Chain A
Amino acid sequence: MTRIPLSAEDLPDGWIQLEAHGSAFAAVLPRPGRPAGIVAVAYAGSMEPGADRLYVVEQSWEEFRGRPARRTDLTRRSSAGEPVFTRRWEVPYSDWMLEVTLSCALEDYPMLGGQFDQFAAGLRLAA
């Protein structure tokens, strides 16, 4: 099983790490009615989930804590029909992919987008 190289110390103020089994790391910013979440998973192969009204806002390759990573900003509707903003980093390792996903209600993006940047800047990935 692949160990996710993230810890609670990586989280911005106010975020809480959730218990996650297997190759996953999860955290939430508890806000009444509209929580925001961070989920990181490690997997082999590819994982392209379908989504309603998926729109890819931006996609680029950039450094993610010293490793090349593909960053994707996208909007979609959740299974409950709510508009969601997602920022996803895909960090290739030798035989697996670290995927870090940050999501929030689309209307909260102007407020939380900066925290997403703060989270990414503060990450310490294990070698």
Chain B
Amino acid sequence: MSAGPAGVEPLYAPTGPGVDPAGFGLLERIHRRGGPGLLDRVRRRRELLALHEAGLIDGRSRLRASGARYLDNVGAGPAWTVTGRYLDSHSTLSLWFGDGGATVLAGPSAEELRPGAVPGIADDAMQRLDLVRSSEAPSTVCAWAGVRPVAPLLAGPAALPLDEFEARAAGRHDGPGPEGLGALWEAPWFVWDVATSDGAMLGFINAGRAGHCAFGVADDGSRGAEVRLAPIDSGRVWRLLAGLVRSGSET
């Protein structure tokens, strides 16, 4: 794993093998069916070779125990999808919760995705597998999203039109931001959200030294959709995610 921005080590370093998105889809099929389909053996030769080299399948394209331990949680219980973006670069972190543990499939982290941090890194070009305990999911997600303890610079709740928010998140903005956003508007934004398989959604902005915000979208019909922002500290982000783990384990 490469160093992040300004020599800061990335907070999250998965320990499992790397797979590309197509390769992971193939691995799931192998897990479900006991092996690749007839066409997969011909058309997906490159992916099968990569999975074999990663130690996830054997020479006959059957799942090895070292691969099965990542797949056993997939589809077994609740799942989270965490998506994040810096400008036009996107990444995803998926978690599947099983019996006490969770499988993680991590695209580039916030610190790796940040423009210029890791030269040549492409969106979701390579994802890494990892295994964590369910109780570690909040720390895993926060570390992936680059959430560090920083005092929020946003003084209080704020709102801006959805179109303006999307333009700012994509870097298609110019001029000063809406009143009250101040340093937050000028900071780099890693916009990320967590969606759980039971329908919960949380949205956040990691604005680096300008701190963190939680956001939600409201549409009361009269003014059009707007994004409502509230400053939040790193501990509160972590505790919200811990609450999702607990509520997921109770359903």
- A12-37 interface code vs B (CB 8 A; 1 in, 0 out): 00000000000000000000000000
* B133–A107 CB distance below 8 A: yes
Q: Which of the residues B133, B148, B235 comes within 8 Å of A73, measured between beta carbons?
A: B235
Of all chain A residues, which has the CB nearest B235? Answer: A58
| Closest B residue to A76 using CB positions | B139
- Expressed in whole angstroms, the minimum distance between the Cβ of A36 and any Cβ of chain B is 14
Q: Is A94 an interface residue (CB 8 A)?
A: no
Q: Is A101 an interface residue (CB 8 A)?
A: no
Complex Cα distance A56/B237, Å? 12
A46 within 8 A of partner (CB): no
Q: Once bound together, how far apart are the Cα atoms of A106 and B133, in whole Å?
A: 9
Q: Taking chain A's interface residues, is the majority helix, strand, or loop, or is none over half, making it mixed?
A: strand
Contact of B142 among A57, A60, A105 (CB under 8 A): A57
Instruction: Name A38-75 residues within 8 Å CB distance of B.
Output: 53, 55-60, 73, 75
B246 CB–A CB distance under 8 Å: yes
How many pairs of residues, A versus B, come closer than 8 Å at their CB atoms? 42
Q: Mark B40-69, 1 if CB is under 8 A from A, else 0.
A: 000000000000000000000000000000
> Is the CB of B242 closer than 8 A to any CB of chain A?
yes
**Is B149's CB under 8 angstroms from A58's CB?**
yes
Instruction: Say whether B238 faces chain A, with CB atoms less than 8 Å apart.
Output: yes
A57 touches B234 (CB 8 A): yes
* Residue A114 at the chain B interface, CB threshold 8 Å: no
Grouping DSSP codes into helix (H, G, I), strand (E, B) and loop, the B interface class, with mixed when no group exceeds half, is helix
Interface size on B, residues (CB 8 A): 18
Determine whether the beta carbon of A58 is less than 8 Å from that of B233: yes
Number of A residues whose C-beta is below 8 Å from B? 15
A109 at the interface (CB under 8 A from B): yes
Task: Say whether B234 contacts A58, CB under 8 Å.
Answer: yes
Contact of A106 among B136, B142, B148, B149 (CB under 8 A): B136
Whether A109 lies near B139 (C-beta < 8 A) is no
B133-160 at interface with A (beta carbon < 8 Å)? 133-136, 139-140, 142-143, 148-149
A83 is contacted by which of B11, B133, B143, B149 (Cβ under 8 Å)?
B133
Does B11 contact A55, Cβ atoms closer than 8 Å? yes
Contact status B238-A109, CB under 8 Å: no
Q: Tell me whether B139 and A57 are in contact (CB under 8 A).
A: yes
Judge whether A110 and B246 touch: CB under 8 Å.
Answer: yes
Would you call A56 and B149 a contact (CB within 8 A)? yes
Q: Are A55 and B242 in contact (CB under 8 A)?
A: no
In the complex with contacts A75-B136, A107-B133, A107-B135, A56-B148 CB distance below 8 A? yes
Residues from chain A with a CB closer than 8 A to the CB of B142 are: 55, 57
Across the interface, B143 reaches (CB within 8 A) one of A55, A58, A105, A106, namely A55
Please tell me which one of the listed residues A59, A60, A75, A110 contacts residue B139 in the complex, with CB atoms under 8 A apart: A75
- Can you report 16 A-B residue pairs in the complex whose CB atoms are below 8 A from each other? A55-B139, A55-B143, A56-B234, A57-B142, A57-B149, A57-B235, A59-B149, A60-B149, A73-B235, A75-B139, A83-B133, A106-B133, A106-B136, A107-B133, A107-B135, A110-B242
Q: Could you tell me which A residues sit within 8 Å of B by CB distance?
A: 53, 55-60, 73, 75, 83, 105-107, 109-110
Known: A56-B234, A57-B238, A107-B133. 13 other contacts (CB 8 A): A53-B136, A55-B139, A56-B148, A56-B149, A57-B139, A58-B233, A58-B235, A58-B238, A73-B235, A75-B139, A83-B132, A106-B133, A110-B242
- Nearest first, the 9 A-B pairs at minimum CB distance are A58-B235, A55-B139, A59-B149, A107-B135, A106-B135, A75-B139, A57-B238, A83-B133, A83-B136
